[in-house]
Amino acid sequence: MTKILGIESSCDETGIAIYDSKTGLVADTLYSQIDLHRQYGGVVPELASRDHLRKIIPLIDECLHLANLTIKDIDAIAYTAGPGLNGALLVGATVANALAFANQIPTIPIHHLEGHLLSPILSHDKPEVPFIALLASGGHSQIMAVHKIGKYELLGDTLDDAAGEAFDKTAKMLGLPYPGGKYIAELATTGNEVYNLPRPMIHSKDLTMSFSGLKTAVLTLISNLTKQDIKIEGQVLADIAKSIEESITDVLVKKSLLAIEQTGIKQLVISGGVSANKTLRNKFDNLAKKHGFKVFYPPLKLCTDNGAMIALVGAYRFEHGITDYSFTVKPRWDLTSLEAI
């Protein structure tokens, strides 16, 4: 029975968690910097690093307290080593390595996207390898074949914007706060798909995606409506939000389905911040019944960045003896370069 402390600090959330290899997630604490960055319309890297620095130790203390443990009960410390913002990653890496050194325990550098990919294991209904994974976050829209834990094959990627980025950028055009995905989703609940927005590359026979054309289409739509003296508010705003949500989710669903058809793998994992989207989940749930595959999601509160997914991967890697006393962060890191365990 091992206990792993997980530290996530790759972007604008400081996430801490303790994962027990036998009993699962013991405790987790999270601080989101979203309010700090909102006024700038996106994440300001230097402000992010400083805020991680302020919050990380109190959050570790709180997490240990919630778990009724002390640092002496921890067997290893897992931390996000990349990809992400250099300064933000360095805060987590430094704290992890300093704590580990002081307590004579190893550290385990973790790939942030592996955390997202495996986060559905934190749900009651757990996927088993092999599975297809749709990773839809603010920075990534990738379809992976997960052959083993650690052996990831990239099947499809976006040519330009990620799905979350498409939500966020179109939300910004509509005057919604950052990050806009959840605001579009909220508005869409009362909207109708009145506007027919493009679904780029939906008919291509490969798993490549593209979302940047959607921005142009939304910009043109806003400009046309404004010319007709139609205000972008109320029902019009809700209808645009619904049309955006339908367009993005249709592409994600179609490409994931194609991956299932092409590989014959009948288990699908949806992860990353966009996996919190209810319309996306409904579409996948319906198709899973129709096409006879099984779909898995992370628990809702663990869709966006958190320490639990890092502690979880840390526990897997620790069990396989993968620890590291070197001190490194990799702001750019190819997921398919990991070694199978």
CB of 15 to ligand KG4, least distance (A): 10
Name the residue number minimizing CB distance to ligand KG4: 273
CB of 8 to Zn ion, least distance (A): 8
Nearer to ligand KG4 (CB atom), residue 185 or residue 221: 185
Instruction: Based on the shown chain and the rule CB under 6 A, indicate whether residue 114 belongs to the binding site for ligand KG4.
Output: no
Piece of the chain touching Zn ion by CB under 5 A; list 42-50, 92-100, 170-178, 300-308: 300-308
Q: Rounded to an integer, what distance in angstroms lies between the CA atom of residue 317 and that of residue 321? A: 6
For residue 307, give the 3-state DSSP assignment.
coil
Interaction residues for ligand KG4, span 146-175 (CB under 6 A): 164, 167-168
The answer to whether 20 and 2 have CB atoms below 8 angstroms apart is: yes
Residue in the block written with tokens 């550290």: 107
Strands 76-82 and 107-111: parallel
CB of 115 to ligand KG4, least distance (A): 9
Instruction: Based on the shown chain and the rule CB under 6 A, indicate whether residue 273 belongs to the binding site for ligand KG4.
Output: yes
CB of 261 to ligand KG4, least distance (A): 25
Instruction: Based on the shown chain and the rule CB under 5 A, indicate whether residue 305 belongs to the binding site for Zn ion.
Output: yes
Instruction: Based on the shown chain and the rule CB under 6 A, indicate whether residue 272 belongs to the binding site for ligand KG4.
Output: yes
Cα–Cα separations (whole angstroms), residue 258 to 35, 142, 251, 265? 38, 13, 11, 11
CA 152, distance to chain mean position in Å, is 16
CB of 43 to ligand KG4, least distance (A): 10
Cα–Cα separations (whole angstroms), residue 5 to 59, 79, 323? 12, 8, 13
Interaction residues for ligand KG4, span 292-321 (CB under 6 A): 304-305
Piece of the chain touching Zn ion by CB under 5 A; list 89-97, 134-142, 185-193, 310-318: 134-142
Position 10, amino acid: S
Nearer to Zn ion (CB atom), residue 44 or residue 69: 44
CB of 116 to Zn ion, least distance (A): 5
Cα–Cα separations (whole angstroms), residue 263 to 119, 131, 268? 22, 10, 11
Residue in the block written with tokens 């526990």: 315
Query: In which element (H, E) is residue 146 found?
Result: strand 141-148
Q: Which residues bind Zn ion (CB under 5 A)?
A: 137, 305
